[in-house]
Homo-oligomer: A and B are copies of this chain.
Amino acid sequence: MRISTLGTGMVGHALATKLVSLGNEVMMGSRQAGNEKAVAWAAGAGPNASEGSFADAARFGEVVVNATAGASSLDVLAAVGAENLAGKVLIDVANPLDFSQGRPPTLTVCNTDSLGEQIQRAYPEARVVKTLNTMSCQIMVNPGLVPGRHTVFVCGNDADAKAQVAELLQSFGWPADSILDLGDITAARGTEMYLPLWLRLWGATGTGQLNIEVVRGA
């Protein structure tokens, strides 16, 4: 499959590398074609890896992954352009974290709205699926780093898009019964607002190699 990953940070790098390793053709998008990090990644990742501008990458991909910093995701998608997102599955793994006042970060949007919803509203023809934003990028692409069962959430308005994303998650190593569909894109409020707890869990346990398992009673 042709997939574009937007963003050259740790998350974009981890996802692009995993996707290439699974046999996908991946274009890493950045603000300007020729971005040093993206060029270095593409050079090292083999013949199925390439790089370009955000718009180049989105045009290339059948599926587009938003792996940019959440605080700038809407700007990045504006640079992509609605015409390059229409009809496509847009996987949003970003969190709207605001580090401008220091740490711990706050959220730029929460409670009555979410980044996932903002993106879906701005690009109504994209099929937005929010997923993987509740863990570090190492765990996203290698769930086996955390032992035993643990959960990855998906939400979005388009059932077929969620099914495609579930397949992609399984290719990453997520067991089908660890993928929990939370419903429509408004559930992004829940997974994004989990971030402050996640940051505390990291602090309390001393490791970012953690995740949560949803355990059910009768």
Contacts and interface: CB of A to CB of B under 8 A. Distances in A.
Interface of A: 104, 106-107, 110-112, 139, 145-150, 155, 180-183, 186-187, 189-191, 193-194, 196-201, 203-205, 207, 209-218
A147 B215 contact: yes
A207 B218 contact: yes
B215 A145 contact: no
A200 B214 CA distance: 12
Contact of A216 (B146, B187, B198, B215): B146
B207 A182 contact: no
Judged by DSSP, the binding face of A is: mixed
Contacts of A181: 204
Contacts of A207: 216-218
Given A107-B111, A110-B193, A111-B107, A215 B217 contact: no
Nearest to A216: B210
Contacts of A180: 201, 204-205
Nearest to A181: B204
Given A104-B186, A190-B201, A209-B216, 16 more contacts: A110-B110, A110-B111, A145-B218, A147-B215, A147-B217, A155-B200, A180-B201, A180-B204, A182-B200, A182-B201, A182-B204, A193-B196, A194-B194, A201-B214, A209-B217, A212-B213
A197 B204 contact: no
27 contacts: A106-B111, A106-B112, A107-B111, A110-B110, A110-B193, A111-B111, A111-B196, A145-B217, A146-B216, A147-B215, A180-B201, A180-B205, A182-B204, A183-B203, A187-B200, A189-B196, A190-B196, A190-B199, A194-B194, A194-B197, A201-B214, A207-B218, A209-B217, A210-B214, A210-B216, A212-B214, A213-B213
